[in-house]
Structure 1
């Protein structure tokens, strides 16, 4: 087989060209249809040009793009999955979106680190397999999945496991190669709406104010002590709005609350505690205020691993750590995270999330990657995939 470094160097310009084409195409969560079509057509083109026929490429109804490699995929057949999500946090729908070099080795673009560079790495893993005529000894599944970000609620990765419940290992390409995420950081997100009669600030003084009630709820929420729970625990109020004008008693207030933990029991306890805070808010409203809870999203935390499954999980983390250390000279951090791997990890399937670039500023309009990191990133991706199918 061709040396990975040689392949990366030979494809350096094409890689950047594909990266630019991906970055310029908008794809907010639930609106990935255009980029999915482009990825599917590029994969088919690579396979056709190489004369590779041990592959089945298709797109499902939610715009996940699947690339089955190796033996025929049949019900009950185990497979190794490698995924990269295609959605971004940015709502922009008019392209082309920015793709800019700053002269210092950085390339700026919306979603370029999260997750365009990682999509590129998975595409070029497929290209390498096609060109080298590699037939995996084990069934190999590449997926370019939708809805990893925010309110996407991991819909794409959940659909992958519906289609392929026999997945035995899962690697997600996301973010950068300084960190391995191998423990699922679960979360629950709520929209709370408090409503009342409202009124004039002078004539109706004394009526319950929805903003005041929400403020008290937030104050109590922020008294949660993470040290009282197992695992990592965080919480946040990320958005609040309400009221109409300075001389009106607010009749409505809305706020978005989030709870996170990498311990499933702690996550359940935190949800129960939050419900007690909501009940307290209702009682203090004394019939004047209504409190409504809507679930914005749920991301699962770690599930129960069998003893064998945990041994495999530890081995997978050690193998990926070794690969990154051998190529970059630095050992990656190992952390909990909220990624597409939450879904398989919640079901006891050995899974890790790693990145294939370096950069910063994800989820901001100053997001960038270091162009010099792309070669090492692609080599990491190739070694990770091809060692995994032997």
Structure 2
């Protein structure tokens, strides 16, 4: 295989198992809610610098950015893995090692992938390797939930048209995402006069009108051009059992692989809300998340790029690949026409639960995939 690792590179991986595990445990302890990744960012920066990296910065989005030969490069390849986790904890996580596994919230999504990228950066740095063009290691912020891909957006804003290819390490071994599921997320709040359930009986109830609105939104026939979904995930409101609610809210989203389908869902959404406003119901909207789907992209370049990454994954992990579309950091470059893949490099389960785990015996396989992909851009 053209991109196979050589003996020296394989030896580095086999001799790094304990260092890898120690780094994972140390990093996994550090809390990192979206928008509050400061402690993990500082840890990653110091670790890189301790291992010889120079010009490492933390940008305004709390991305840890390590550029290699990027200053004058016309073309740049970006490799990133996100530091944030879905949990809002700001106290240290409990990390447990037992039965050949490491257990911790966020340990697989995406801490172990971050460790793989850090170890690749260490190898490149300590061996003074130079990329064919520019190369960017990024431990990025805000991939999860309402992080709204802030970190990925910042990288694409800063490096723009110079970014020619983009890889996000995220998920489990065998996955290779090349299609972006776009999503739009809103908090909708309905307000009425409300009142006392007995003395003001007959006043309008915000909960009633919110529930009616939800039923109307669910009456839509989803576009069929590409898979399109919608969901109300949270509802809240009211004061007490004997109060006519004057305020009620919901979190609503719709998703699709296709821009036209998203636009149809958006048009329906606003039409429903306008119909309630015309009934003199108070309706306010807060945009809580926008993730674009794929934009205009050279399909031949994307296919060639994806085939290369699939070849590397298959070489080190002989299994059927998961090529499902996803909502990941790759959404941003794909929306801008840049070939991008999100590739998994860990083995485990329980993502987005406090019992999440990764298998220690999958470490070398994940490292081989990560290293082979990264080093394919370096002079060897």
1:241-263 deviations in whole A, cap 9, x for unaligned?
A: 11111122111101100111111
CA contact (8 A) 1:2 1:132 kept: no
Match of 1:271 in 2: 266
Among candidates 305, 321, 327, match of residue 316 of structure 1? 305
Match of 2:3 in 1: none
- The separation in 2 between residues aligned to 1:371 and 1:237, in whole angstroms, is 38
> How far apart are residue 203 of structure 1 and its match?
2.5
1:144-188 deviations in whole A, cap 9, x for unaligned?
A: 111111111111111101211110000000111222111111111
1:285-313 deviations in whole A, cap 9, x for unaligned?
A: x32x20111111111111111xxx32111
1:39-61 deviations in whole A, cap 9, x for unaligned?
A: 0111111116xxxxxx5322223
CA contact (8 A) 1:324 1:331 kept: no
Match of 1:185 in 2: 181
> How far apart are residue 35 of structure 1 and its match?
1.1
Match of 2:190 in 1: 194
Match runs of 1:18-33 below 5 Å: 18-33=23-38
Among candidates 222, 239, 243, match of residue 244 of structure 1? 239
- The separation in 2 between residues aligned to 1:45 and 1:79, in whole angstroms, is 25
SS of 1:183's equivalent?
A: coil
- The separation in 1 between residues aligned to 2:219 and 2:178, in whole angstroms, is 29
> How far apart are residue 372 of structure 1 and its match?
1.0
CA RMSD of aligned residues (A): 1.5
SS of 1:314's equivalent?
A: helix
> How far apart are residue 82 of structure 1 and its match?
0.3
> How far apart are residue 315 of structure 1 and its match?
1.0
CA contact (8 A) 1:80 1:170 kept: yes
- The separation in 1 between residues aligned to 2:378 and 2:125, in whole angstroms, is 15
Q: Is it true that 1:261 corresponds to 2:256 in the alignment?
A: yes
1:173-230 deviations in whole A, cap 9, x for unaligned?
A: 011122211111111110000011111223222221111111111112222333x332
> How far apart are residue 377 of structure 1 and its match?
0.4
Match runs of 1:81-160 below 5 Å: 81-95=78-92, 97-103=93-99, 105-160=100-155
Match of 1:387 in 2: 376
- The separation in 2 between residues aligned to 1:269 and 1:225, in whole angstroms, is 10
CA contact (8 A) 1:322 1:331 kept: no
Match of 1:371 in 2: 360
CA contact (8 A) 1:56 1:68 kept: yes
> How far apart are residue 389 of structure 1 and its match?
4.0
Among candidates 37, 40, 47, match of residue 35 of structure 1? 40
Q: Is it true that 1:347 corresponds to 2:342 in the alignment?
A: no
1:60-111 deviations in whole A, cap 9, x for unaligned?
A: 23321111113x523x71111101111111111111x1111232x2211011
CA contact (8 A) 2:180 2:294 kept: yes
SS of 1:317's equivalent?
A: helix
TM-score by length of 2: 0.94
> How far apart are residue 332 of structure 1 and its match?
1.2
- The separation in 1 between residues aligned to 2:126 and 2:14, in whole angstroms, is 15
TM-score by length of 1: 0.92
SS of 2:20's equivalent?
A: helix
Match of 1:51 in 2: none
CA contact (8 A) 2:131 2:377 kept: no
Alignment size in residue pairs: 373
CA contact (8 A) 1:153 1:299 kept: yes
User: Which runs of 5 or more residues in structure 2 are unaligned?
Assistant: 1-5
SS of 1:82's equivalent?
A: strand
- The separation in 2 between residues aligned to 1:41 and 1:208, in whole angstroms, is 58
Match of 1:295 in 2: 287
- The separation in 2 between residues aligned to 1:210 and 1:4, in whole angstroms, is 63
User: Which runs of 5 or more residues in structure 1 are unaligned?
Assistant: 49-54
